[in-house]
């Protein structure tokens, strides 16, 4: 089944009682049983919900996996994965990553005896050198947030499998339309479904997709026991969003390409971070494992003063200054004070995230209007 068809029909089954083409919102906390232990597959809504079940089936299908699990947020999904580990275990992860993930790792899980090593994952050899007998998991973002670094998922997965290490890929920036890490050897794929999967900036949700039944059962036990599950309305909204993922991503990519090239030609713009450029580090890897290069772009002004960056951030009309990404509307973000503020400044600077870096989530508006907006703001 081709992606455009798959995204529309994934997890969708007509309601058996009414024939409704859209999965109903089962707004219930519990289910009546015919006798103790005799039920229709549903007992209590923290453990099972028909709307969530349909969405989890869709999650598996769109990532070309066997199993999907829905969580109340992307961070909750990440939290569930790290709960697979035990004190003394070690994790290798990228030195350019979402600030909320970094905060979860350093402020929550380090206290429980799990050790995290932050490395440049663009070179698989760097990851291989960091592995030891305590390494249980490699956590990747590709493209990374916000520097758009690219990691070779196939190469890292081969290294990990030889050592019995799980590979988890945060696929939020790419979406399943552009990249399918399970097919490249990853064990688990994580999404902040708040972003491209939902696509309309109206829901918070996370997702895990995988192929291994035992691993799925362990994560389901964590999901059920810890209770970070989404409500049925949220599940309905994400299912609705998935149905238009392909057409939205096509426009995100078209607009992103045009704006990336426009920014690079602007006399007041310095470095532009976008994996579609042939001279972008690991562009060849991105071209091989992605179908296109997405709508996420970061850039710096040639005037590297913070005042110039702040003026730009406050001057756009169509690009809304806000957290998050992946919605139909365009957003502009200042990572150092917003999405990545939880990372100490010294760490940000060391890893290349400057105080003047600006991140764009390019929406699906008319690209000429978006360029005019940026042009007026940059001056």
Nearest partner of 243 among 297, 283, 196, judged by Cα:
196
The string of DSSP codes covering 32-86 is: --SBTTB-SS-SBTTT--HHHHHHHHHHHHHTT-SEEEEESSHHHHHHHHHTT--
Within 8 A by CB and 6+ apart from 123, the residues are none
- Active-site residue, from 195, 216, 248, 348: 195
**Cβ neighbours of 287 (radius 10 Å):** 16
Give the three-state DSSP class for 297: strand
- Active-site residue, from 26, 98, 118, 196: 98
**Cβ neighbours of 182 (radius 10 Å):** 23
Q: Is there a catalytic annotation at residue 98?
A: yes
Within 8 A by CB and 6+ apart from 97, the residues are 118, 139, 141, 144, 145, 170
**Cβ neighbours of 369 (radius 10 Å):** 11
- Active-site residue, from 31, 46, 89, 115: 46
Q: d(Cα 302, Cα 289) in Å, to the nearest integer?
A: 32
Within 8 A by CB and 6+ apart from 204, the residues are 72, 73, 194, 230, 234
- Active-site residue, from 79, 96, 170, 373: 170
Cα angle 178, 168, 224 (rounded to 5 degrees) comes to 110
The two three-digit tokens of residue 148, written as one number = 């758009």
Cα angle 59, 137, 75 (rounded to 5 degrees) comes to 50
The two three-digit tokens of residue 323, written as one number = 């957290």
Q: Is there a catalytic annotation at residue 195?
A: yes
Catalytic residue annotation: 46, 98, 170, 195
């Amino acid at each position: 089944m081709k992606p455009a068809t798959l995204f529309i029909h994934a997890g969708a089954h007509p309601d058996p009682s009414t024939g409704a083409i859209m999965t109903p919102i089962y707004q219930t906390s519990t289910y009546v049983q015919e006798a103790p232990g005799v039920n229709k597959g549903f007992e209590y809504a923290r453990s099972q919900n028909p709307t969530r079940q349909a969405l989890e089936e869709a999650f598996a299908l769109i990532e070309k996996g066997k199993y999907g699990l829905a969580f109340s947020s992307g961070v909750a999904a990440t939290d569930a994965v790290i709960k697979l580990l035990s004190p003394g275990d070690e994790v290798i992860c990228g030195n350019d990553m979402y600030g909320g993930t970094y905060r979860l790792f350093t402020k929550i899980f380090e206290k429980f005896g799990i050790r995290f090593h932050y490395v440049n994952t663009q070179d698989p050899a760097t990851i291989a050198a960091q592995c030891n007998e305590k390494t249980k998991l490699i956590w990747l973002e590709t493209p990374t947030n916000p520097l758009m670094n690219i990691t070779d998922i196939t190469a890292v997965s081969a290294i990990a499998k030889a050592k019995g290490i799980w590979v988890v890929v945060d696929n939020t920036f790419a979406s399943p339309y552009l990249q399918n890490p399970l097919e490249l050897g990853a064990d688990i794929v994580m999404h902040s479904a708040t972003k491209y999967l939902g696509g309309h900036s109206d829901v918070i949700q996370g997702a895990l997709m995988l192929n291994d039944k035992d691993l799925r059962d362990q994560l389901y036990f964590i999901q059920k026991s810890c209770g970070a599950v989404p409500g049925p309305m949220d599940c309905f909204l994400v299912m609705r969003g998935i149905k238009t993922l392909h057409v939205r991503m096509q426009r995100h990519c078209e607009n992103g390409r045009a704006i990336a090239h426009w920014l690079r030609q602007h006399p007041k713009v310095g470095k532009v971070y976008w994996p579609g450029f042939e001279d972008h580090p690991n562009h060849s890897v991105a071209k091989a494992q992605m179908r296109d290069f997405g709508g996420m772009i970061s850039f710096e002004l040639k005037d590297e003063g913070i005042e110039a960056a702040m003026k730009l951030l406050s001057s756009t009309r169509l690009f809304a200054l806000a957290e998050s990404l992946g919605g139909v509307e365009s957003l502009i973000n200042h990572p150092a004070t917003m999405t990545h503020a939880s990372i100490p400044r010294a760490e940000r600077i060391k890893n290349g995230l400057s105080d003047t870096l600006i991140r764009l989530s390019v929406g699906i508006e008319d690209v000429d209007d978006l360029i005019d907006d940026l042009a007026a703001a940059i001056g």
